[in-house]
Amino acid sequence: MSSSVNPGKRATGRSAGPAASGAAGAKEQEIAAALARIPSGLFVLTARHEERRVGLLTRMVQQVCHRPAMVCVAVAKGSPIMPLISESRQFGLCQLGEGDKLLMRKFGGEVDPGEDPFLGFELLPSVLPGLPLLAQCHAPLECALSCHMDVEGDHDLFVGVVRAGRWRG
């Protein structure tokens, strides 16, 4: 999985001049256009450890194996969900519908460390203990952590074995 490139940002580092920086910007736009062709969805990544629960919006999810079924999710370095996934060794992925503005707003912003973002939302029973799964999502997945990779970039990768999942339409 590769991270996406924001075509609106210029390349960092030194350049040989205006022509070089223009070429770098064009290259970034070409890469961004190619990456945009990778199928994606909108998910709320969830985790719980002890009494703390966190959820955040992400599009950086990809299936990586069929047998066993495994998925990979990229998480921004320093994100408050990272220690919860690492300590609990599990995470959930709740696929949202395109028009689910309420969940997009709730889980797309900054995380308040003292707040439980799931209060007021109906949760599904989970196979993995205590894992928060949003009832209004289309396809919840429950994943046991298989691998955490600290890659050179602004995100880490978490690979999970899918222990349960269903299509709720």
String of DSSP letters for 58-116 = E--EEEEETTTTEEEEEEETT-TTHHHHHHHTEEEEEEPPTT-HHHHHHHHSPPPTT--
- pTM for the structure as a whole: 0.81
Could you read off the pLDDT of 45-82 as tens digits, one per residue? 999 999 999 999 999 999 999 999 999 999 999 999 99
CB 156 within 8 A of CB 75: yes
Average pLDDT over residues 122-150: 96
- Quick one: pLDDT at residue 159? 98
By the 8 A CB rule, do 61 and 43 touch? yes
Could you tell me which of 52, 47, 56 has the C-alpha nearest to residue 96? 56
| pLDDT level of residue 22 (50, 70, 90 thresholds) | confident
Residue 32 sits at φ, ψ, to 5 deg, of: -60, -40
Confidence class of residue 2 from pLDDT cuts 50, 70 and 90?
A: very low
Q: 11 pLDDT exceeds 60?
A: no
- Which pLDDT belongs to residue 31? 83
Closest CA to 69 of 151, 155, 160, 158: 160
